[in-house]
Amino acid sequence: MVPARFLVPADAGLIALDWGTSALRAFRMGAHGEVLETRHRPWGIMNLPPAASEVADTEPGAAFERALQDTCGDWLAASPGLPLLACGMVGSAQGWREANYLPAPTSLDALAQGLTLVARRDGPPLHIVPGLLQQGTLPNVMRGEETQVLGVLAGLALPADAPVLIGLPGTHSKWVLARRGRIEQFHTFMTGEVFATLRGHTILGKTMQAAAAPDNEAFARGLEVARGSDAALGLLSHIFSTRTLGLTGALAPTAQADYLSGLLIGHEVASLVRAQDQTPTKPQALVLCGEPDLCRRYAIALQTYGFAAPTIATQATATGLWQIALAAGLVVAPASSSSLPPITVGSLPA
């Protein structure tokens, strides 16, 4: 709970933080959960701002406090009682304070009840959303994506018990089966990180050249190879074709990165198809949430593999943080509010 000296009126808003490994996004939210202002800083947990002097920090969390003040210190000064809620790697072992992993499946209420509190010297405490741990022979974890998923679910006009498959493409892509206010299971694919590594640190990148625009034809070619008649050869064999097609002149240097992207995303979606075939619960909706060009690529891949055209959601993290804040009692929605901040769910661009 928020200490009494920092309690704010029921019509106050929230400072919501999406605090990851490489960046910090801050949202100043109004009394109805609307995003009034957004800021982006490079202060991820592995790149915090240094102290002004050469004297080493002696207070735990000092570098995180500097990042917070640099990002939204004026918001805090103007509204000193606004609650603070963060999700992401700020709650990891390398973050400001380690937040627990909750076992999956889990619910919005469980996440709200499991917040980790970080006391601050001159302001309201910071609350951190817990991550999720999915036990099994091959355990799986997430930090931050659970909040995105709750934001996506809040913006969907579906029955509460309708299963939804939510794709979160990125460095570590997540595929989450969820229902309103509840996360049931998820899978992780290191597709983005593998792409960056292969392009930047292997021989494949030596013949690649930057393209002025995405090469959709090369990307589609990669998808077709991933699902073609020789798909049994597997990803490791297919990856090498990026080089051989270049050496034989069948693939231009500017097309090779998009071809490799198609291979990797194609194999990811093929694995997703197999996972769906083994799951008795069939989703009634398919939603993507992420960087627009990545969502465009994944939408093409999904439809190539027989999925229905997905929709795209934006503002999901801010919406999810607002939902958690409501459930935790950090904010109280005015009686005239629907308690749902604006979230866009619509068709993907062509």
Q: What is the mean pLDDT of residues 329-348?
A: 62
Q: CA dist 271 to 99, 163, 168, 299, Å?
A: 31, 20, 15, 15
pLDDT tens-digit readout, 131-143: 999 999 999 999 9
Give 335's pLDDT tier (boundaries 50, 70, 90): low
pLDDT tens-digit readout, 15-33: 999 999 999 999 999 999 9
How much is the pLDDT for 349?
A: 45
Residue 172 has pLDDT above 80, yes or no: yes
Cβ neighbours for 175, distance < 8 A, ≥ 6 positions apart: 165, 166, 167, 168, 186, 187, 189, 272, 275
d(CA 99, CA 288) in angstroms, rounded, equals: 27
Q: What is the mean pLDDT of residues 248-271?
A: 97
How much is the pLDDT for 55?
A: 57
How much is the pLDDT for 282?
A: 86
Q: CA dist 323 to 31, 126, 180, 318, 341, Å?
A: 13, 16, 12, 9, 9
Residue 334 has pLDDT above 90, yes or no: no
Residue 140 has, within 13 A of its CA and on its CB side, a CA count of 18
pLDDT tens-digit readout, 274-289: 988 888 888 999 999 9
Report residue 126 as tokens: 């910071």
Indicate the range of 178-192, 207-221, 248-262, 333-347 predicted with least confidence: 333-347
Domains of the chain: 4-144+317-347 (3.30.420.300), 191-272 (3.30.420.310)
Residue type, 350: A
Q: Cβ(133)–Cβ(139) under 8 Å? A: yes
- Name which of 273, 347, 275 is nearest 313 in CA terms: 347
- Name which of 325, 293, 16, 318 is nearest 155 in CA terms: 318
Indicate the range of 195-199, 245-249, 279-283 predicted with least confidence: 279-283
Give 346's pLDDT tier (boundaries 50, 70, 90): low
Q: Over pLDDT 70: what percentage of the chain?
A: 90
d(CA 287, CA 313) in angstroms, rounded, equals: 7
Nearest 5 degrees, angle CA 116-CA 119-CA 121? 165
Q: Cβ(90)–Cβ(96) under 8 Å? A: yes
Residue 237 has pLDDT above 70, yes or no: yes
pLDDT tens-digit readout, 288-300: 999 999 999 999 9
Nearest 5 degrees, angle CA 163-CA 312-CA 180? 30
Give 121's pLDDT tier (boundaries 50, 70, 90): confident
Residue 11 has pLDDT above 60, yes or no: no
Q: What is the mean pLDDT of residues 302-322?
A: 95
How much is the pLDDT for 4?
A: 45
Residue 347 has pLDDT above 60, yes or no: no
How much is the pLDDT for 281?
A: 82
d(CA 55, CA 246) in angstroms, rounded, equals: 53
